[in-house]
Amino acid sequence: MNKDYTTRFQEKDISVGIIGLGYVGLPLAVAFASVECRVIGLDCDNEKVTMLMDKRESYLLHIANETIEQMVINGHFRATTDLSEVKEVDVIILCLPTPLNKYHEPDLSYITDTLQEIAPFLKKGQLLSLESTTYPGTTEELIQPIIEAKGFRVGEDFFLVYSPEREDPGNEHFTTATIPKVIGGVTTTCLEMGKRIYGRIIEKLVPVSTVKAAELTKLLENIYRAVNIGLVNEMKIVADRMGIDIWEVIEAAATKPFGFNAFYPGPGWGGHCIPIDPFYLTWKAKEYGVNTDFIELAGRVNTQMPAWVVEKVTDALNQHHKSVNGSKILILGLAYKKNISDTRESPSVKIMELLRQKGAEIAYSDPYVKSFPVMREHQFDLKSIEMTPDSLSKMDCVVLCTDHDYFDYEMIENYSALMVDTRGVYKKYKHQIIHA
């Protein structure tokens, strides 16, 4: 092992290339720039690069424009679409999407295509870290061979780690620096190099014995949430049939000081992680002859929740002698959770689609999503409407899907002819509010 490679990561003047400047990559760039690392952000989206470099503006709500402007002005950050720039950095961090294809199988094309594109520019002594959620074995089975095909020896003259992202946009209690970070290395030397890099920005590192253990840790975290969300959503349906207030039940159960963690029902799951990650494990488990029945059942429950909400909307309108067909229905909140702008896999969108199929006239209001975003599976030519007494009173039904703190809930209640609440905001029953 060349001693210069290991000592290089101990020096202050380290350059970091972050590929993918989304909800994971941009906060990482900010964190490394804040400790005076030289950061190159690489993204295929010209619009993002223009916003960051020319306008010096942030496209993420939880990162201020002033933060972007400062790190560009002081020379700690620049963004580009040119992937050949990886030849200029000591560390490469991949923060790329890992969606599912139409067969619910892992689609790692963003990672493989990017690796093939940057392969000619890799050099000895670099460290590459994958942060994207994936199945156990990806780092060693997919990434390591591409590196070794260059003639590099992983653990000796090139270092490879897996360190899953744990970003939680909109969470004011935790930042990139304060969330403990799991990390695994292909070799012990790789792990040590990775710890030196991430230790610059993360307060607490959680090293594990292998990259596979790190990859499975990420899946366990999100599957734990997916299963418990599925459980409480199923409990909500049962409680509804029995005429029991599920919110009261959860609040009562949460007083138990041990053995119970409160999860809350909603209109379905959303975001890039929770609806996707469980199926990465179910797919990989089949290679080992294991069926993940429990995980798949939770997936089915969560996937069916938008249809449950639409059923409640249909029943509510029927009680008011109206049909869904021809009704004006306002969706409150397009993002998949409150106080953010992320609409990926949002149950709100699925509810809108189902209602439109039934002939409803759809509108939405979301202060963080001004126009309906471009999506592969859903197309709506809509802009967020301003919520006023007049706009609310024109609706046959208002469906609260995302409980943004921004919303004026008293005004919504006062001026809505009929409301379906999927988030338990209006826990005390009112005649025009239906809980779903």
Q: Which residues are catalytic?
A: 273
Which of 408, 409, 402 is CA-nearest to residue 423?
402
**Number of other CB atoms surrounding residue 210 within 10 Å:** 17
DSSP state, 324?
A: S
Quote the CA–CA distance of 130 and 42 in Å, as a whole number: 15
Query: If residue 290 lies in a helix (H) or strand (E), which one and from where to where?
Result: none
Angle between helices 211-242 and 293-303 (to 10 degrees): 50
Which of 369, 328, 374 is CA-nearest to residue 352?
328
Backbone angles phi and psi of 311, in degrees to 5: -60, -40
Query: If residue 353 lies in a helix (H) or strand (E), which one and from where to where?
Result: helix 347-357
Quote the CA–CA distance of 382 and 30 in Å, as a whole number: 33
Angstrom distances, CA of residue 283 to CA of 101, 103, 326, 379: 12, 10, 42, 29
